[in-house]
Structure 1
Amino acid sequence: MKRERIRHGWLTAGESARQAVVGSLLLWTCSSAVAAQSTPPPFKLLGYEEDYRYLADTDRVGWARLKYIPAGEHGWLSLGGESRTLYDYRDHPGFGRFAGDSDGYWQQRLRVWGDYRVNPNLRVFGELASSFVSDLQTRPVQSVDRNTLELAQGFAEISSGELSSSQPTPTWRLRVGRQQIAYGWQRLLDPRDPANSRMPFDAARLLYTQSRWSGGLLWGHAVETRIGGFDDRTNDAQRLWGAHVEVPLLASAPKVAKLEALYLDTEQKNRRYSNGVIGEDRRHTLSARLSGADKGWDYDLELIGQRGSFGEQQVRAWQGTLFAGYTFDQSAWKPRLGFRLEASSGDRDANDGEVNTFNGLFSRASVFDGSMITSNVRYFGPDLVLKPTPKLWLNVYVLALQRQSLDDGIYAAGWRVIQPGSANRERDIGVRKVIWLKYRFNDFVTLDVYANHTSAGPFLRQGATRGQDYFYIAPYLTLRF
C-alpha cells in the first residue's frame, strides 16, 4: 500500500512540478557540457566562502568564465547558482498526530548569486532566491515552503586585503548586511539548508585570521521569512550576539585536533515548550568542540551548556555529542564504520522554577525532514558509510531514541509538540533507521535519495493518540555552478 501511494504521488504531481523537473534536466544538460571543459573545487554550503582568485592567471573556458570575470581596474566578479527539485512524501507525520499529504508534494528552489571583489579591500555579495511548492494540500503554505522572490543575502565587506601568497586570507574582515551563517557542525547556527527556503540573519560580523588561530564577533537578528516577494524583514523577536574562536592544537598537523569555542547571547520571544507556557527565552550558550582525523580515525566531540531565563523561570540546559568512526581506506567501497551518541536535556519538573529543555537555537535538523528536534532526546547507534564508486556515496545508520527526562515531551521542527511529557512515564521513543544515497553525475549535478523510518515506541504509543510508525522519503536533484 505504501509503495502504491508513493508511486501514485509521483504520477499525480502537478504540471508546475513537471515543468520544474524539465527545467532542471535542461540545466543538467548545460552543466554536463560545461563540466567537460573545466573542473571546479568542491562547492561549499555557503557560496560566499568560495574563492576563485586562482583562475585569474589561467585560460578560462566553460564554467571558469562565470567564476572569474575581470571587472574594473582591480576587481573581479564571480557568479554562482543552484536549482533543487525535491519530492517530499511523509507517512504519519508527527507519528500520526499531524496532518499529511497522502500523495506527497513537490518543492522547487532556485538561487543565484554574485560576488564582486571591487578591490583587495572591498567586497559586495548578493543572492536572490525563489522557492515554491506544488500539490501541498493538508496544511497552509509556510515560508519554509514558499518564498516567491527574495534578497536572500546582501552584504558589504571591508578587509585588510591579501597579505601574501602564503597568507591569502585577510587578517580582519568586517561584514555587514543580510547573510547566512554556519559554525562548526551547525549544532547552534545553520542556514536551514534542508528546508525549501534558507534562513539568513541581518548581522554585523568582525572576522579575524592569523597563522595560529581565527575567530570573530557577531551581532544581529534572525530574518523573518515570508511567502511573498521581497517582504522578508528583520525579526526583532529573535536577537543574538556572540563570539567564536578556532585553534588547531597541533601546528604541524592541524587536521588531527581542532578546538572550537562558540558563545551566544540570544533572545527569543514567544517561545513555547510542552507545558504550554509562552514567554521570552533568554539564554547564554557556550559550546566547546574538539574534532579531527588521523590515520583513518575521525571524531567530533561537542559539549554545550545553557543558562538564562524563560519568563520568571531560570534556564539550565545542556547537550553532549560524540560522533566517531574509522575508515578502511584500502578496502573495497572504502567503508567507514562509526558510532553516534547525543543527549540533550529536558525539563525535570514543571513546578521547580527552572526550564531544563535544551534549545538548539538555529541548529541544523537532526534529520533532513525536521520530523524531530534533539531537545529532550538522547540517541545512540551504529553508522556506516560506503563509497562503491567515486560517484556513489551511501550512508546508513540506526539509532535508538529515548527521552532524557520523563517529565518533558518531544518536539518537531518549529517547536511543535509531538507528545507532551505528561502522556506517560515511558522512556523509549522508538528506533530511527536512515538511508541516504548520493549519486554525483558530474561536478555540477547530484541526485540524492533520503529515507527515514522511525518506529513508534512505548512513549509514543501511549497517550491521547496512539502513535504510528513514521516514514519519510525525499528524492531530490541538485544542480550547482
Structure 2
Amino acid sequence: MKKGNLTLLLLLISFATQGQESKLRFGMLRQQDGVSILKEKEAKTLYEHVKWIPIGTNSSLSFGGSYRFQPEAFINEEFSSEVDQDDIWFLNRFQFHSHLKLAGKFELFAELNSSLIDSKTNLAPVDRDKLSFNQLFARYHLNRNWNMLVGRQNMRLGSGRLVDIREGPNVRLSFDLAQLQYKNANTEVTAFYAVPVRVAPGVFDNKALDFQESVGAIYWTQHWNANSSTDIYAIYKEEEAKTWDSGTADDHRLSLGLRHFENWNKLKYNNEFVFQTGSFGDQDIRAWTVSFSIEHPVSFLGENSSIGLKTEAISGDTSDTDSTLNTFDGLYPRGAYFGRVARIGPSNLFDIHPYFDTSMRRFTFEFDYVAFWRLSTDDGVYGPPLNLQYPSINEERFIGHQLGSIVAFEVNSFINLELEANVIFPGAFLDESGLDDTLFHSVLTMEFKF
C-alpha cells in the first residue's frame, strides 16, 4: 500500500473508531442509510451530531461517504504467458454525499465520486473518473404511496441480473432518468425512462443525456406473503452500433421477465426467466435466458452456514447467415458477474455454480466453483460489459473451470476488509483459440464508510 493511501486510511479509521458504538447501518445505496435512528437518541457522539442534523420538527440534513482502496493483481490475464500479462494496480474510490429531507415530502440527494487508479496501462471506462456526480436527484413524495424522481441515480432492479449499480468495478453505473414509483406493504411498481451516463476520465466531463443509448422499463414486485414474491417486468433498450459476434448494427430490444423468489422449508429459491425480442439491423431478435438458484442452511463448526447451487442457460446466436439474432443482451449486469475476476459475462453461456459460505463472528468465508460452456458454437464469449472477448473461431463448447474464494472481516460497522482470489483453468474453447495458460487473480478491498 502506498504511503499516502495508508495515511488516509489510518486517519479515517481513527475517526470511525470514535463512534464505533453507533448502531448506524449503511446501505449499498447511501440514500438508504438508516439515519432515522438518531432522531430518538439523546446522547449523541460528535460523529452522530455531524451525521444527522435536524431542521425543525420534520426535516433533516445528513452527510456521509466512503473510501475504498483496492490493490488488484493478475497473472496471465488473457490466458497467455507469451506476452507480458502479469500486472498489479491500485484502485482508489472516494465518495461523499449529502441528503436533505424537507417536511416528509421533498428529498435532495447529491453524491460526489472520485475514482482513481495507479500502475495500470490499458484503462477501461470503469477504472477512472477523477471527479463527477455519481448521483444527483430530487424526489417528491406525492402521498404515502406515490413518489416521483428526476436526476442522476444508481439503480438496482430485483436481483440485479439485468440492471445493477456495478459495485465491483472502480466506477459505478449511473443513469440520468425520470422515475415514477408506487409502493405499499405488498406491492412495488417502478416506471422510468433513463439514459446511462458515459464515463470520461477527467473532472466533470462525463457525457450526460447521450441518446445513442437509452432504456425504459416497468418493473412490478408483488409480495404474496412473508416468504413468497414475484417480479414481472418489461425493459426496452435502444443502442446504436452494438457489436455482437455476428456484426455491428443498431440494437432495439424488449426484455420480458419473470422472477420468483421464496423461502420454503428452509430452502431459499431465486429463479428467473427472460425472453427478448426486437431488431438488430435487419435481423429479428429472439433471445432468452433461464436461471435457477437454490440454497439450504447448514451447520458448520457450530456456525450459521449455507450451501447452494446456481445454474443458468443464456442463448447465443445459432447462425451468422440467417435473419435472426439469438444472442442474449444482459443489459446492465453486475460488473463482477462471476466474481471480481470479471472474464465471463452473461451471453451465450451455460454454467453450473455450486458454492458454500459461512460466518464466524466478524469473519465471513465464501467458496465457489463455476464451470462454463458456450451454449452455441456459432457465437463467441463475452465479458461482463457485454463486449466480445473471444470470437467464435472453433467448434469447442467448454470454456473453463473457475475456483474462487472470499475472506471478509468486519472490523466494526464502519470498516470492512475483504480478500478475494480466483483461478481460471482454460477449457477446450480457449485452448483451441491459442489461450491455454491458467489465469490467477486476487484483489484486496479495504473500505471505510461513514
Q: Distance in 2 between matches of 1:342 and 1:298?
A: 17
Evaluate the alpha carbon distance shift between residue 100 and residue 178 of structure 1 in structure 2; reply closer, same or farther with a 3 A threshold: farther
> Residue in 2 aligned with 1:381?
353
CA shift for structure 1 position 52: 2.3
Contact 1:72/1:118 (<8 A) preserved: no
Give 3-state SS (helix, strand or coil) of 1:220's partner. Answer: strand
> Residue in 1 aligned with 2:442?
473
Q: Distance in 2 between matches of 1:398 and 1:45?
A: 26
AA at the equivalent of 1:173 = N
- Equivalent in 218, 226, 230 of residue 259 of structure 1: 230
Q: Distance in 2 between matches of 1:103 and 1:272?
A: 28
Give 3-state SS (helix, strand or coil) of 1:89's partner. Answer: strand
- 1:375-403 superposed Cα distances (whole Å, 9 cap, x missing partner): 1111113211111x221111111121111
AA at the equivalent of 2:134 = A
> Residue in 1 aligned with 2:218?
243
1:27-426 aligned at under 5 Å gives the runs: 27-36=12-21, 38-41=22-25, 43-59=26-42, 60-72=44-56, 74-96=58-80, 102-137=86-121, 139=122, 141-161=123-143, 170-234=144-208, 235-250=210-225, 254=226, 256-275=227-246, 277-328=247-298, 332-364=302-334, 365-367=336-338, 368-387=340-359, 389-421=360-392, 423-426=393-396
Q: Distance in 1 between matches of 2:188 and 2:155?
A: 16
Contact 1:194/1:369 (<8 A) preserved: no
Contact 1:126/1:153 (<8 A) preserved: yes
Give 3-state SS (helix, strand or coil) of 1:335's partner. Answer: strand
Contact 1:97/1:418 (<8 A) preserved: no
Q: Distance in 2 between matches of 1:348 and 1:455?
A: 26
Give 3-state SS (helix, strand or coil) of 1:346's partner. Answer: coil
> Residue in 2 aligned with 1:167?
none
Give 3-state SS (helix, strand or coil) of 2:255's partner. Answer: strand
Percent identical: 24
> Residue in 2 aligned with 1:166?
none
Contact 2:354/2:368 (<8 A) preserved: yes
Contact 2:329/2:386 (<8 A) preserved: no
Contact 1:92/1:98 (<8 A) preserved: no
Q: Distance in 2 between matches of 1:330 and 1:356?
A: 43
Contact 2:262/2:269 (<8 A) preserved: yes
Q: Distance in 2 between matches of 1:339 and 1:56?
A: 42
Q: Distance in 2 between matches of 1:413 and 1:383?
A: 20
Q: How many residues align?
A: 446
> Residue in 2 aligned with 1:164?
none
CA shift for structure 1 position 220: 1.6
Give 3-state SS (helix, strand or coil) of 1:44's partner. Answer: coil
Evaluate the alpha carbon distance shift between residue 69 and residue 58 of structure 1 in structure 2; reply closer, same or farther with a 3 A threshold: same
More displaced stretch, 205-214 vs 411-420:
411-420
Q: Distance in 2 between matches of 1:200 and 1:434?
A: 28
Contact 2:216/2:236 (<8 A) preserved: yes
Contact 1:94/1:418 (<8 A) preserved: no
More displaced stretch, 170-179 vs 95-104:
95-104
Q: Distance in 2 between matches of 1:100 and 1:24?
A: 32
Contact 2:243/2:388 (<8 A) preserved: no
Contact 2:249/2:280 (<8 A) preserved: yes
> Residue in 2 aligned with 1:5?
none
CA shift for structure 1 position 99: 7.5
AA at the equivalent of 2:45 = V
AA at the equivalent of 1:19 = G
Q: Distance in 2 between matches of 1:155 and 1:49?
A: 14
Q: Distance in 2 between matches of 1:466 and 1:214?
A: 47
> Residue in 2 aligned with 1:18?
3
The structure with the largest helix share of the pair is: 1
AA at the equivalent of 2:409 = Y
More displaced stretch, 180-189 vs 367-376:
367-376
CA shift for structure 1 position 449: 0.8
CA shift for structure 1 position 425: 1.2
The structure with the largest strand share of the pair is: 2
- 1:292-334 superposed Cα distances (whole Å, 9 cap, x missing partner): 2245321111111111111111111111111111112586132
> Unpaired segments of 5 or more residues in structure 1?
1-12, 162-169
More displaced stretch, 367-376 vs 430-439:
367-376
- 1:438-463 superposed Cα distances (whole Å, 9 cap, x missing partner): 11111110111111111100111002
CA shift for structure 1 position 102: 2.5
Q: Distance in 1 between matches of 2:292 and 2:435?
A: 33
Evaluate the alpha carbon distance shift between residue 320 and residue 468 of structure 1 in structure 2; reply closer, same or farther with a 3 A threshold: same
| TM-score normalized by the length of structure 2 | 0.95
Q: Distance in 2 between matches of 1:99 and 1:311?
A: 37
Evaluate the alpha carbon distance shift between residue 402 and residue 330 of structure 1 in structure 2; reply closer, same or farther with a 3 A threshold: closer
Contact 2:234/2:257 (<8 A) preserved: yes
| TM-score normalized by the length of structure 1 | 0.89
